[in-house]
Amino acid sequence: MDTHAKVPFLIVETGQPVASMRRYGGFPHWIRVAAGLEADETVVSNVERGDALPRREGFAGIIVTGSAAMVTDRADWSERSADWLRSAAHEGVPVLGICYGHQLLAHALGGEVAYNPAGRESGTVTIDLHDHAGQDPLFAGLPTQFAAHATHVQTVLRPPEGATVLARSEQDDCHAFRWRERVWGVQFHPEFATHHMRGYVHARADHLRNEGRCPGTIARGVTAAPQARKLLRRFVRHARGLQAAR
């Protein structure tokens, strides 16, 4: 029996899905399912609601969710979480940030987050991996181009010092980065299935129209993103391996 199999992952919950999608549960549930984790293999801390973050010891890794909040608002709960994540990163705890979590990690580690000059990115997008992603523990072996689901208006304009940018899209030059050896951020949503992505396009339809985009066309362009979805299981497997080697 693997004595490490049940060491939990901490999911830092930074926000809720759009109202129309909450019937499918919250981000921690979506992440847990996509990551192949059992309920007793995760602990959730809802920092947006005011939950205190626990001691970092005793977790196989940390996953930070997306949010409708903006990192640039510097909300108290967000800044406290950034401080906590900075310490976790420097201590060598494996961390994966998704969307807001990606941006929050970049901010925590000294990067720059702001509104994307290219505008809102929404729908199934093409991720282009840089050549050096082929040596990354999470991205190695993936196609150099693959589909992923994205919905965001802010982005990492400048990654933290010591970070390696791993991927880009047509609208975003920093869709994934690794900081040192055990911290990753991805702007896309590996936990999204097609119904999540279509739901977000419909929920943001007015914003998209106001920006000259056609939500119907974007929704029809939503496709499965199995390669992107692999990132969560790869992170879990890698973090488990690091734990076993301690």
Catalytic residues: 99, 189, 191
Give the Å distances, CA to CA, from 111 to 81, 156, 157. Answer: 15, 7, 8
Phi then psi dihedrals of residue 76, to 5 deg: -55, -45
Per residue, the 3-state secondary structure of 72-95, as one string, reads: HHCCHHHHHHHHHHHHHHHCCCCE
Phi then psi dihedrals of residue 169, to 5 deg: -130, 180
CA 241 from chain centre, in angstroms, equals: 21
The strand pairing partners of 168, in sequence order, are 128
CA dihedral 54, 57, 61, 67 (to 10 degrees): 20
CA distance 127 to 148: 7
Question: Count of CB atoms within 10 A of residue 96's CB?
Answer: 28
CB 103 within 8 A of CB 156: yes
